Amino acid sequence: MSGPPGSLPVRPPITGVSAGALRAALSGEPRYRIDQVNRAVYREAATSFEQILTLPAGLRARLAELFKYEALQAVRSETSADGTRKTLFQTVDGAPVETVQMPTERSGATTICLSSQAGCGMGCTFCATGAMGLTRNLSSSEIVDQFLHFRRRSSADRTPDRAVFMGMGEPLANVRAVEVAVRALVDPAAVGLSPRRVTVSTVGLPRGIHAMAGWNLPVSLAISLHAADDDLRTKLVPVARRFRLDSLMEASRRFQQQARRRVTYEYTLLDEVNDSTSQAADLARLLRGQRCHVNLIPFNAYPGARFHPTPRPGVRAFRDKLREHGLRATVRRTRGRDISGACGQLHAGALRADKQPGSRD
């Protein structure tokens, strides 16, 4: 990528630079410099080349001329009463990206909820990101750098140990960049997370699920189901018109066999839409015989939402019906609702709120 004539060339982010290009940039240096750079970038708290004190000053300056240290610029952050933190970033071309850091259940560490796209083109009717539409796919560096942003700035007791693709966007609609990002997240020489602690959540694109089964990595797969019949599912998840439940279940079963992993089905409970106990029984029939887990998500409302959350007793009755049928089912604890940082609430509203100086409503 280069800018208009006469402008400075755009520097690629360091996490997007190939091993060969990094070696070329470090030519004439001892070989251990590569490890020093990688360790600082992926594991340490430095937020600029200038801060990598293991490198000589001249080399730090050379690297800073060639590469950007961070692909994304943080615009603003909000912290919820429960410790969840949401950060709004901007890409170099001004696309909004939101990322959430939340406490990991039953551990002192944190989970980073990553975005794979700016906005989302899938148009699910109960999702604030869906209402934004798609701005563009994110690059693998823009994905990995969301994680690194928080790793570099977190105290030891809040260090991120998990990544879930449950922020903005449909990861399997950007499957190439997501695969590269996942490989960096689990590479011991890069981010170094345990693959089991990386979860890709998809609206249910069968081809993407087949691709993921071929990655040969024990990462976790979550499929957003929300309905056990095609008619209702199409009303909630418009792409279900093209990707019917039979092909989705086939892709999921293949993933379970090939990756030898249990799949999680996500089911957002919408009042009087998909939450009756007879719909729970239909769901149990659909999933009979699968190695799976059902994660029920209480609906998170947002301004302009067309749906309402199922009241608590209804949530429990739905869960209990699934369990009666022998399914493993749990209710997701909602985090960060007060800062619009919960599932399906990301919509980059802060960018609109941050008016340019002198601008008017």
Please pick, among 29, 44, 98, 292, the residue that the annotation labels catalytic: 98
* 315 sits near ligand SF4 (criterion: CB under 6 A): no
Instruction: DSSP for 215-237, please give it.
Output: T----EEEEE---SSHHHHHHHS
Cα 3 from chain centroid? Answer: 30
The Cα-based distances of 65 to 14, 27, 74 in angstroms read: 11, 15, 21
* 164 sits near ligand SF4 (criterion: CB under 6 A): no
* 124 sits near ligand SF4 (criterion: CB under 6 A): yes
> Residue 307's closest CA among 167, 127, 122, 133?
127
- Closest CB 262 distance from ligand SF4, rounded Å: 21
Reply yes or no on whether 98 is catalytic. yes
- Closest CB 93 distance from ligand SAH, rounded Å: 22
**Residue with Cβ nearer ligand SAH (26 or 305):** 305
**Residue with Cβ nearer ligand SF4 (16 or 130):** 130
**Residue with Cβ nearer ligand SF4 (123 or 314):** 123
- Closest CB 82 distance from ligand SAH, rounded Å: 16
Q: Which of 55, 72, 122, 148 binds ligand SF4 (CB under 6 A)?
A: 122
> Residue 297's closest CA among 349, 208, 223, 206?
223
- Closest CB 165 distance from ligand SAH, rounded Å: 6
Q: Could you say which of ligand SAH, ligand SF4, none residue 166 binds, taking C-beta under 5 to 8 angstroms by partner kind? A: ligand SAH
Contact (Cβ atoms closer than 8 angstroms) between residue 339 and residue 84: yes
Could you give the count of Cα atoms lying within 13 Å of 45 in the half-sphere of its Cβ? 5
* 292 sits near ligand SF4 (criterion: CB under 6 A): no
Could you give the count of Cα atoms lying within 13 Å of 361 in the half-sphere of its Cβ? 0
Q: Which three-class secondary structure state does DSSP give residue 103?
A: strand
Reply yes or no on whether 343 is catalytic. yes
Task: By CB under 6 A, name the binding residues for ligand SAH.
Answer: 126-127, 166, 170, 201-203, 224, 266, 268, 297, 299-300, 343-345
How far apart CA 37 and CA 88 sit, in angstroms, is 27
Binding residues (CB under 6 A) for ligand SF4: these are: 120, 122-124, 127, 129-130, 169-170, 203, 224, 344
Which residue numbers are catalytic? 98, 343
